[in-house]
Structure 1
């Protein structure tokens, strides 16, 4: 029988409850633990405390032996053996062999305890590393998100727009599906800032950005701040009729904001001008030509009086160094 003491050099808990048969010879085991030496019942026969041990009396034990399991001067447990048939069953030879065995058992107990503690330590450290790694991933994801978001309006920024447009352009080239692009900006926005101040101007930009996002609700649609008061919208898988429908919705959504703009020559409230085009990208066609074409259509909408949209009927090639006809005005 192999048992463990709760603490070093501390006697085990009594093995019996009141009125019940004792589970172990506690006096016998306590003596072994206290002396730190192996003991047999025959070696302590003359001691009344052991002769009257409730366990020995109830079990009529003939022979018993207890060995302390000691490692590095510390008691790790107890090895207890008994024989109910033969007296003095445990000879000096038995004691010698079991003494060697008890040393190995004590080492095994200590190793098991060490490995368990080591395993717990590794598990704890692994959990800490996983937690830190998750925090780093979350932080990197947040940084990535922030690097793609316009700080003022909360929608995608120009960098994100460029990446998205390039990916979608290539995909539409492979599939031969319609790709639509809208460029728009706020009419007479400089005058709005001059009349109402830059704080109101920033609030105007936020509300306009939100209205644009709400108007295009498909998962693949993409709204970004292009720069200043100008915005760009990419509509994947959208043909000319679909583009026209979205433009009507966008224009109505902006007017529904009813933001006063007394300095505008396009009306009494904030409005937008839109330039757009739709194309099925093919080999040899360039994304920059599509942006250039939508931008020229936006200029045309401004030239026609603003607060309207113009859809380009054909893609115009952008020549290096070529600017807009007449320049851009708010």
Structure 2
């Protein structure tokens, strides 16, 4: 079974569509199907020719052994297919920040020499390009395909994976759709064991250590963008680290991010600071600006050289 590393990173899609392969016609729908809601995929019935799967838009008939899967979001659902050794024929590539490489870096070793066609963009999915691939199953993340779900579902059975699921739950949902639940469970058990081993090995260093995560420092406005890295945050807390309680209270209901003024910068004085950035010259300079700013120099993380840049596609 092929394995893929879990990532620590993350979309709105807008597209107009007309026609596809052969004499198949795709009609444009005015209404948006409400699919970006917390619904887990489950199989209602299995026949000789298809599985009846329930997901947020309703029910969909999925082929028993799909041969031409397209992963239109190129994130959770693409990772899950790689883990399950069911490589799609096409997937959206990495269009994060200013990078325009074919795939997210952590995926490349697991794709090997497979001829997976790169779709132009996961932020603006080209439905016509998807149709040309003649898929027999389309997978996508709910908040990325909500506006174009009617068009996609006319091309092939389309399943929406809820976007706010953890990587593990996303894997289980994709595995449910393609009938690969057993290998998914084995993979998750292996992941959890590795996490437990790391926790035991570094318990004396990580247990109770505080951390904060920042995205950008807007020096002109004397503000810093503080984030909750979602998957990254979850893993760090599972390893025994602790988000600064005062920072959590300041964030309140703003789960993902807040802007902190310089007057509140003391909330970031944690044992470790992770600075998320895109690998561009400007962003790397921004990381150095945080490291050398007078207000940060007295922070524990800076004094002990525990301020670490992390590429944004991993959060």
- With the shorter chain as reference, the TM-score category is under 0.3
- Structure number with greater CO (CA < 8 Å, separation at least 6) is 2
Q: So what's the TM-score if we normalise by structure 2?
A: 0.20
Higher strand share: 2
Highest Rg: 1 or 2? 1
Q: Relative to total residues, which structure has the larger helix share, 1 or 2?
A: 1
